[in-house]
Structure 1
Amino acid sequence: MYQQSEFSEIAILALAFFTSLFFTLLLTPIAERVSARLGFVDQPCTRKVHDQCMSRLGGAAMAIAFFSGVVVFAGWGRELWAVLAGASIIFCAGLADDGKDLSPKLKFFFQIVAVVCFMLVGGVYLTDLGDIIGSGPIILGWAGPLLTVFAMTGVINSFNLSDGLDGLAAGMAAIACLFFIPFAYAQGNWAYMAILVCLMGVILGFLRFNTHPAKLFMGDSGSLLLGFVMAAAAVFLTQAGPAEKGYQPVTALIIVSLPVADTLFVMVRRIMKGQSPVNPDRTHIHHRLMAIGFSHQLTVSGIYCFMLGMGILAWTVRPLPEWVQFYTVLFVYFCLYAAIYFAERRTVSQNKQVGFNLRLDPTNQFLRKVLFWTAEKSWLFFIFIWASLLGCALLAPEMPAPFKYYILFVVLFGLVYYPWKGGIKQMGIAHAVIFFGLYSFILAINVASAGDDWMRGILLLVSGAAMLWTLGRVLNTRRVRVLWPGSLEVLLLGVALAVPVLVHYSAFMGFDFRWQMFISFLQTVPIFMLNKVRLRRNPARIAQFAGLTGLALVMLLF
């Protein structure tokens, strides 16, 4: 199941991830403190959603952590030199814009310079777009470098313009990283594996401070850097990789299609109205969703879900002809924007946030008593669920040695990332870390007890009971909103769901392991929801539960 060389590579990538994560967690608070002295402050205005001055020096912390990680772990090849050359220029331009507000033309000039440096140093540009329109492969020839400049600057600006809500651009880039990493792994491209893993660590570290309500912004220096790395990965992994791997440009396009489609739609709409395409307004998809009635948190979570869905679609439709993939994506976006248009026309919930108003009001006296008892004695049910899980952990056979390192990774991540001193505003981060730990705990039990049907039956029984109790409790108390996941929860939930689709491209993970990951995800969600309903928004109780989850994971190491 495990090959030593591959396991060593994974261990090094884990180290790269943690190095970038730690640096970002360390540097971001420093950037927040010094931003006011240096003049890197974002002022509120009519087209922005924040109502107070915010630091926008987070991109500097991200850049330092990213450059430090890739220099150590990516290897000194042309891939790294190309990314460093372009990323350094794009970061400096963004930093100058954060401090002095550069003109759009000057920003665009620096973006072109960064892309040209990337092409010259890396020796790669778009040469073939594939058969995306159904008339045969589109070979670019002499127009390749020009179209590369156009395409990469388009992706760079799309991520820059999507940075309109807390955690939005960072989360979208993290999702793109998640789906690009298998490209690099299957091609044996160590440099881009390290680059993308380091960027993933940087983004998660930054989201610790940028998830709603954000403590600071990344600014243009951060959003332009994210867009550049995404554009560079899309070009290099589809044009410079082995042709037999079959990674078409349309696959990369689908992965980053949401910010690109949003930017194209907004700019075309401005031009049709006789306005400048770079004139700022509130017509981006996140602005329109909030105008319909979605809350800040729900808007970001919904966009994360759609981006994850497009990433999964990109990998599942790969066997189809390229033109079928391309037109499928066009149809998906036609449906998306049509739905938003009709929602705006009907002015759904214009003056209130989207929500649910469900309540279970049984007429049967026995059912009333059952619901009342579960409400009054919910702590007994909570203890029963966790006693069953800990019992499974104690009875499960010893885990494979490499998986113990994964558990150690999860414990270390939780200790560093959990907001131990945070209040109620950081409950979304707390719940996200708890889900990751709980999912890893149940996955470890499933891996260790593979082949034991009775153990799987107990986990399914516990998960089913948790789902029934949660639904009854929530509908009876009308606390449906407590089940709404925060944006960081959605991100980690999506990662847990998407990874089984992607690990097919990892040689040491077979079908059985992917199936165990998927089953573990289904088992985790109801138990996680039960814990959210039981603990609600009590920081002290949630911290105690996070400690319990950590101890349960540590038990599996022995």
Structure 2
Amino acid sequence: MLISVTVVALLRRWAPRLGLLDRPNQRKVHTTPIPLGGGIGIWAGWLGTLGAGAAFVLAARSSEGLAAWLPPWASQHLSGAAERLDMLAVIVGCGTVLMIVGLIDDRYGLGWKLRLGIQFAVAAGCVSIPELRLTAFIPLPIVTVPLTVVWIVAMINAFNMLDNMDGLSGGIGTIVGGLLAAALLLGADPATGQPQLFVAGFVLTLVGGLVGFLFHNRPPARIFMGDAGSYLIGFVLSIATLLGTYAGQQEHPLAVLTPLFLMAVPMYDMLTVIAIRLKQGRSPFEADRNHLSHRLVDLGFTKPRAVAVIHLLTATCGLGALLLARTDLPGALLVAAMVGCVLALIGLIELTARRRLKAAAVESAERVASPVSPAVPDPSGAGGAKES
């Protein structure tokens, strides 16, 4: 967190000199140019903490004296963590590539086809590692490998789409990351019976970077994360969900849905935005003001309250996910129904409110188009009562 706070503070000064400025336009909610590049700070905090952790693991493995200082619950995981450092290096490399691509997009602008192509290439590289593949009890790589690639790319773009108001994408990333870490620590790995410290630690390094960034991004934001940050958040969280183990095939099988519940709100925003754009005959990759946050503002919410509503929705769906590994089948189905009801409720509220706003706009336009005619004087006199 301290690394992120410091780096972002420096970037606030350097970004304008480097041409990293987000200038206002008709589809953006800010009215003055804001520095970009906060994603570099998030990346620096994430990478710095991971690097320090990896160095400690290697040092502890080579020094019995250092390992002796660790409590038993931590020392028993040293060998497993060391064996996964090569995989961690691949993940860090892929995340860094995406951060750089996002930074170039922030500075110069890249076409959506090129961006999407790079995202698919990075995701395909990740799934070459078996541990980074979705399984969900489906022993068919021909199915699980494409699903994994789509999941990674979808999460990258979901968090990119959420980056449209102060504190929104960073706040959701913090909530999702924190709840995912809690799920991994509270729900033991079915194969070992132990908390999943490696994956939880991996995702908490991102949370620390996000908290440091949010210190500068809270309303009114003094810097934006840009695509460099949103790409990294979506990538790291998607990889963390793939690294985690949530259920055994015989015990709590519906706990495998934990990532879907944690990501329910980002997916809702992404899918509804795409549906709106397609309905309007536009490209799903054409930026606009149809995101959930914008729609809430159109309904009368202030920007901070719209962000708070989305944060609370994310927390509500995510908290339910914590129960999946600790309850029986009826309980898990109840949690699933609750998450579905939350999303359906916000959808119905949106639909009803937008219809009323549209009807009010039509009525107002009709009044403007058909003004009330002035009263015509009564030719029989002063307009008083007629004589009988």
TM over 0.5: yes
Alignment of 1:236 with 2:243, yes or no, is: yes
Structure 1: distance between partners of 2:174 and 2:254: 20
Residue 322 (structure 2) aligns with: 315
Correspondence for 2:345 among 329, 332, 335:
335
Distance 2:119 2:333 in 1: 30
**What are the equivalent positions in structure 2 for 1:380-529 lying under 5 Å apart?**
none
Deviation of residue 326 (structure 1)? 4.5
Alpha-carbon shift at residue 253 of structure 1 (Å):
0.5
User: Is the 2:123–2:152 contact (alpha carbons within 8 Å) kept by the matching residues of 1?
Assistant: yes
Q: Which one of 8, 12, 30 corresponds to residue 50 of structure 1?
A: 30
The reply to whether residue 200 of structure 1 matches residue 220 of structure 2 is: no
Change (3 A) 1:71 1:310: same
Q: 1: distance between equivalents of 2:322 and 2:201? A: 21
Q: Could you say which residue in structure 1 is the equivalent of 2:96?
A: 88
Matched, 1:119 2:127: yes
Matched, 1:346 2:366: no
4+ residue runs of structure 1 moved beyond 4 angstroms? 241-247, 322-328
Correspondences of 1:246-265 after superposition (within 5 Å) = 248-265=255-272
Q: CA deviation at 1:324?
A: 6.0
Q: How far does residue 259 in structure 1 lie from its aligned partner after superposition?
A: 0.7
* Matched position secondary structure for 1:274: coil
**CA deviation string 1:214-259 (max 9, x = no partner):** 00000000011001111111112148x8766857331111011101
- Please name the residue that 2:182 is paired with: 182
The whole-number CA distance in structure 1 between the counterparts of 2:125 and 2:254 is 24
Deviations 1:476-511 (A, max 9, x none): xxxxxxxxxxxxxxxxxxxxxxxxxxxxxxxxxxxx
Q: 2:9 aligns with which of 15, 29, 36?
A: 29
TM-score by length of 2: 0.77
Offset at 1:328? 4.6
**TM score, norm. by length of structure 1:** 0.54
Higher Cα Rg, which structure: 2
Contact map agreement 2:12 2:223 (CA 8 A) in 1:
yes
Q: Which residue of 2 aligns with 1:63?
A: 43
| Cα distance in structure 2, aligned partners of 1:127 and 1:142 | 11
Q: 1:290-326 CA distances to partner (integer Å, 9 max, x unpaired)?
A: 0111111111111111111111122235535466654
- 8 Å CA contact 2:320–2:335 kept in 1: the answer is no
Structure 1 runs not aligned, ≥5 long: 1-20, 131-137, 352-558
Structure 1 pair 164–214 and aligned structure 2 pair: CA distance change class (3 A): same
Distance 1:140 1:90 in 2: 28
CA separation in 2, counterparts of 1:124 and 1:61? 26
Structure-2 separation of matches of 1:47 and 1:309: 29
Question: Contact 1:27 / 1:61 at 8 angstroms: preserved in 2?
Answer: yes
**Cα deviation, residue 332, structure 1:** 2.8
CA distance in 1, matches of 2:20, 2:130: 33
- Residues 337, 68 of structure 1: alpha-carbon distance in 2 compared, 3 angstrom cutoff: same
Cα distance between partner residues in 1 of 2:346 and 2:207:
28
Aligned to 1:49, what secondary structure does the other structure show? coil
CA deviation after TM superposition for structure 1 residue 191, in Å: 2.5
**Alignment RMSD (CA, Å):** 2.4
Q: What is the SS of the residue equivalent to 1:46? A: coil
State the SS of the aligned residue for 1:217: coil
* 1:306 corresponding residue in structure 2: 313
Structure 2 unaligned blocks of 5 or more: 58-81, 190-194, 362-388
CA deviation profile, 1:59-104 (whole Å, cap 9, x unmatched): 1111112111112115552452242132112111111111111111
Q: Once the 2 structures are TM-superposed, how far is the Cα of residue 327 of structure 1 from its aligned partner?
A: 5.1
Shift in Å at residue 26 of structure 1? 1.0
1:190–1:311 CA distance, 2 compared to 1 (3 A): same
What code does the residue aligned with 2:122 have? A
**How many angstroms does 1:122 deviate by?**
5.6
Report the CA distance between 1:140 and its aligned residue: 4.5
Q: Is the contact between residue 132 and residue 239 of structure 2 (CA under 8 Å) also seen in structure 1?
A: no
Q: Percent identity?
A: 27
In terms of mean alpha carbon deviation, does 339-348 or 89-98 score higher?
339-348
Aligned residues between the structures: 321
- Are the counterparts in 2 of residues 57 and 219 from structure 1 also a CA contact under 8 Å? yes
Is 1:38 aligned to residue 18 of structure 2? yes
Q: Which residue of 275, 279, 294 maps to 1:272?
A: 279
Q: Secondary structure at the match of 1:347?
A: helix
Give the aligned residue type for 1:49: V
SS at match of 2:322: helix
Q: Deviations over 1:416-462 (max 9, x none)?
A: xxxxxxxxxxxxxxxxxxxxxxxxxxxxxxxxxxxxxxxxxxxxxxx
